[in-house]
Amino acid sequence: MKYILVTGGVISGVGKGVIASSIGAILKCCGIEVTAIKIDPYLNIDAGTFSPYEHGEVYVLDDGGEVDLDLGNYERFLNVTLHRENNITTGKIYQQVIDRERHGDFMGKTVQVVPHITDAIQEWVERVAEKPVSDTGKTPEVCIIELGGTVSDIESVAFLEAFRQFQYRIKRENFCVTHVSPVLQPKTTGDHKTKPTQASIQELRRLGLNPDIIICRSEKPIRNSTKQKISNFCNVASAQVICVPDLESIYEVPVHMEKYGIAKYLIERLELGIFPLLPIEKYMKPWIDLGKIMTQPKYETTVAIVGKYTKLEDAYTSILKALTHAGNEVGCRVNVKFIDSSNLEQHMRLMEPAMYHNAWYNLSISDCVVVPGGFGIRGVSGKIDACKWCRESKTPFLGICLGFQVAVIEFGRNVLGLTEANSTELCKTSNHPVIIEMSEHNNGQMGGTMRLGRRLTVFKDSTEGSKIRRLYGDKRNIYERYRHRFEVNPDYVEEYEKNGMYFVGVDSDQKRMEIFELEDHPYYIGVQYHPEYLSRPMNPSPPFVGLLSAAENRLESYLSQECKVLSAEQLDSDEEYLDTKQTSSTNHCEDSSSAYSSSSLS
Ligand code: GLN
């Protein structure tokens, strides 16, 4: 096993995760099996109890692990399925060591950070690195380890010490270090300043680790003389000082980095025993093609995300990525408008009229709408109003998890006339609890107790004509990832279906409602699961593809091509896109003929 440790300097949030994932993506293109471990040096056991405001979204894995959103980057870039143990936190390590101490495993010794915590870190890394993560089932050959935060953080010390010991134990040819540091360009001087980067590398070396590659993150490309300076001061050849300026899309980073010969360097340095003899155009082709598709959009589509965590984009990272992937598939650039659902609520009309009208204006000019997942009552009535607006104005709509549940509530109130329809999460005493708690998922504890992870959803008999089923390639069984505690109350299902909201997808016991689809609407779909977690740049998520193609009034034509993914070459020659773009209007109703009769779905 070969290890590439990726550390950060100066400040966090400069894209260390994307750099680390890109290194992995490059190696994968050379035919190497790659896995990844993300270390978060905080004390939480996992990300399950995090507020999206503080850390961005909680990412969910197949095994139900609630982990840091960076694991999503690795899954997307490497097209792998990680395990909850691929996310290490200080909390997990300490919990393991303390449990062993209580069990008497240390035979009366004093339990200390060195060697007990540092040993536990090394054991964990070596054990998890071996776990297969791709469809091939092969044991990985390279493990990328990203250490969160910066090397000068007090929380990182035990981890850096563990890797200092580790490098000697596993030998030089099996371990290397990449250090990612911003190179700032203060407005007052105009020049790129290297001092903070130099200081962070000095700190890394003081802790006993020498960088093999230095990645300089900057807004604009840095000059060769600046690179030379970093190389001189930091003991790294200038060829291994690589500048990654801000690029239009994160998916351009692997190709950009590989132009500096990262694969060749790592293959030699880590004695990987292969050589990418092919020219870069060949082995990096999937990423070069992706870049081409991304830079040649034929449409521009505005998507409103109506949620409550709209002040922090990271809270909806996977949804934004899923929209980009789906946009590549249907040839459109996605413009996202974040709408704080609280601003859509009636009481805001008098309290904050400008915010209220602005929110409604943005919603009404959007081509389609996503109501994402969430927890708690704040902003829910605004989400319900947004669902009503989409349903009535025939605007393409995708409700995810809580978004699915609020669309069910809205339909209950305004179509079935159940004026008190509600979720027991939001109102415990409702006369019409159309959304209820799954009692087996409430043991009174908060962390890790929801219905979590990859589960089977089955399309019901006679749903062949359903749009969402066709988007999934007309498969009978699909797998998606879940994270929820509440579900549709089965007592109301018959009444909903009689009135046109069909629960086309259910769980394997046919008891839980997992997908609804509305008849007589271009695209009004709700999913209890989170399709965004399984979206990949080269394998976009069907509900998002459906949303964007419906927004462009092209859903039927997309489906009749049997959901083919467009290649870069096809895009170059696809005149149909331009023709459709010119003739398409904002009228979403053209596509609205119901693909099935009500009796066939009920
Ligand atoms: N709060 C809802 C539930 O627990 C929805 C959760 C979500 O959107 N992830 O069921």
Residue 387 one-letter amino acid: C
Alpha-carbon distance 224 to 572, whole Å? 36
Centre of ligand 1 from the C-alpha of residue 395, in Å: 24
User: Does the beta carbon of 505 sit less than 6 angstroms from any atom of ligand 1?
Assistant: no
C-alpha of residue 536 to centroid of ligand 1, in Å: 23
On the question of pLDDT at 572 being above 60, the answer is no
519 Cα to the center of ligand 1, angstroms: 25
Lowest mean pLDDT among 275-279, 351-355, 461-465, 537-541: 275-279
**pLDDT surpassing 90 at residue 491:** yes
pLDDT digits (tens, 9 = 90+) for 224-270: 888 888 888 888 888 899 999 999 888 999 999 999 999 999 999 99
List the residue whose alpha carbon is closest to atom 1 of ligand 1. 375
Q: Is 404's C-beta closer than 6 angstroms to any atom of ligand 1?
A: no
* Distances 157 to 148, 169, 430 between C-alpha atoms, Å: 12, 19, 52
16 lines ligand 1 (CB under 6 A): no
With a cut of 80, say whether residue 568 has pLDDT above it: no
Distances (CA, A) of 42 to 13, 107, 187: 16, 28, 34
Average pLDDT over residues 578-597: 34
Q: Which atom of ligand 1 is nearest to the CA of 400?
A: 8
Q: Is 205 near ligand 1, meaning CB less than 6 Å away?
A: no
Q: How far is the CA of 404 from the centre of ligand 1 (A)?
A: 9
Would you call the peptide bond into 115 cis, given omega within 30 degrees of 0 as the criterion?
A: yes
Helix, strand, or coil here: 291? Answer: helix
For the chain, domain boundaries: 2-292, 298-598
Say yes or no to pLDDT of 578 above 60. no
H or E element that contains 119: helix 118-129
pLDDT value at residue 128 = 98
Q: What is the pLDDT of residue 155?
A: 93
Closest residue by Cα to atom 7, ligand 1, is: 373
Given a cut of 90, whether residue 599 has pLDDT beyond it is no
pTM value?
Answer: 0.89
- Cα distance between residue 496 and residue 479, in whole Å: 25
Confidence (pLDDT) at 188: 75
Asked if residue 292 lies in contact with residue 270, where contact means CB atoms within 8 angstroms, the answer is no
Ligand 1 atom at shortest distance from the alpha carbon of 483: 9
Q: How confident is the model at residue 593 (pLDDT cuts 50, 70, 90)?
A: very low
CA of 382 to the centre of ligand 1 (A): 16
pLDDT at residue 587 in the model:
34
Q: Are 81 and 536 in contact (CB under 8 A)?
A: no
Per the structure block, which two tokens stand in for 432? 């019409």
Q: Is the pLDDT higher at 575 or at 193?
A: 193
Give the pLDDT band of residue 222 (cuts 50, 70, 90). Answer: confident
Compute, in angstroms, the gap from residue 457 CA to the centroid of ligand 1. 17
The rounded distance, in Å, linking the Cα atoms of 307 and 365 is 17
CA 372 to ligand 1: nearest atom: 8
Q: For a pocket test of ligand 1, which of 57, 375, 489 has the largest count of ligand atoms closer than 8 A to its C-beta? A: 375
Which two tokens mark 476?
A: 């009978």
From ligand 1's centre to the CA of 485, what distance in Å? 6
Q: Are 372 and 387 in contact (CB under 8 A)?
A: no
User: What would the pLDDT profile of 542-554 be if each residue is shown by its tens digit?
Assistant: 999 999 999 999 9
- Is 484's C-beta closer than 6 angstroms to any atom of ligand 1? yes
Distances (CA, A) of 236 to 104, 162, 184, 312: 46, 23, 20, 37
- For a pLDDT cut of 70, what percent of the chain falls above it? 92
Between residues 591 and 333, which one has the greater pLDDT? 333
42 ligand 1 Cβ < 6 A? no
Residue 7 has pLDDT above 90, yes or no: yes
Domain 2-292 shares a fold with domain 298-598: yes
CA gap 43, 66 in Å, rounded: 15
- Quick check: 121 and 158 in contact, CB under 8 A? yes
**Calpha distance 339→119 (Å, rounded):** 48
pLDDT reading at 190 higher than 80: no
Task: For residues 21-44, give the mean pLDDT.
Answer: 94
Does the beta carbon of 60 lie inside 6 Å of ligand 1?
A: no
- Please give the pLDDT value at position 314: 86
Average pLDDT over residues 568-577: 46
CB atoms within 10 A of CB 320: 20
pLDDT at 175: 97
Res. 580: pLDDT tops 70: no
Residue of 555, 289, 244, 512 whose CA lies nearest to 398: 555
* pLDDT for 61 beyond 80: yes
pLDDT of residue 81: 96
| Neighbouring residues of 523: CB distance < 8 A, sequence distance ≥ 6 | 368, 396, 397, 398, 467, 546, 547, 550, 551, 555, 588, 591
Residues 6+ apart with CB under 8 A from 218: 182, 183, 184, 185, 192, 243, 244, 245, 246
* Structural tokens at position 587: 């009228």
Residues 6+ apart with CB under 8 A from 99: none
Q: Which residue's CA is the closest to the ligand 1 atom numbered 6?
A: 484
Contacts 24+ apart (CB under 8 A), 568-573: 568/288, 568/289, 568/290, 568/292, 568/293, 571/292, 571/293, 571/296, 571/298, 571/331, 572/292, 572/296
Q: 21: CA distance to ligand 1 center in Å?
A: 29
373 in contact with ligand 1, CB cutoff 6 A: yes
Rounded to whole angstroms, how far apart are CA atoms 602 and 600? Answer: 6
The pick from 305, 377, 486 for probing ligand 1's pocket by mutation, whose C-beta has the most ligand atoms within 8 angstroms, reads 486
CA distance 329 to 400: 20
Which has more pLDDT, 465 or 504?
504
Closest atom of ligand 1 to CA, residue 486:
10
Does ligand 1 come within 6 angstroms of the Cβ of 17? no
- Distance of alpha carbon 5 from alpha carbon 20, whole angstroms: 9
Q: What percent of the chain has pLDDT over 90?
A: 72
Tell whether ligand 1 has an atom less than 6 A from the beta carbon of residue 227: no
Ligand 1 geometric centre to CA of 410 (Å): 16
> For residue 386, what are its two tokens?
């947004």
Mind listing the pLDDT tens digit for each residue in 198-219?
889 999 999 999 999 999 999 8
Averaged pLDDT of the chain? 89
Output the residue whose Cα is nearest ligand 1's atom 5: 402
Mean pLDDT, residues 67-83: 94
Q: Is 483 in the pocket of ligand 1 (CB under 6 A)?
A: yes
Name which residue sits closest to atom 8 of ligand 1, judged by CA: 373
486 pocket-lining for ligand 1 (C-beta < 6 Å): yes
Ligand 1 in reach of 527 Cβ (< 6 A):
no
For residue 341, what is the DSSP state? G
Q: Which residues are catalytic?
A: 401, 530, 532
512 in contact with ligand 1, CB cutoff 6 A: no
Interatomic CA distance for residues 595 and 559, integer angstroms: 11
Q: Residue 225 Cα, ligand 1 centroid: separation in angstroms?
A: 53
> What's residue 443's pLDDT?
61
What is the Cα–Cα distance from 475 to 166, expressed in whole angstroms? 47
Beta pairing, strands 451-459 & 501-507 = antiparallel
Query: CA neighbours within 13 Å on the CB side: how many for 379?
Result: 20
CATH number for region 298-598: 3.40.50.880
Q: Which SS3 state, helix, strand or coil, does residue 296 take?
A: coil
Q: Please say if the pLDDT value at position 282 is more than 70.
A: yes
Contacts of 211 (CB under 8 A, 6+ apart): 7, 177, 178, 179, 201, 204, 234, 236
Domain at 2-292: CATH architecture: 3-Layer(aba) Sandwich (3.40)
pLDDT at 189: 73
Which pLDDT belongs to residue 358? 97
The tens digit of pLDDT for each residue in 9-26 reads 888 878 899 999 999 999
Query: What stretches of 12-69 show up as alpha helix (H) in DSSP?
Result: 16-29, 52-55
Among 378, 383, 402, the mutation site with the greatest number of ligand 1 atoms within 8 A of its Cβ is 402
- pLDDT over 50 at 430, yes or no: yes
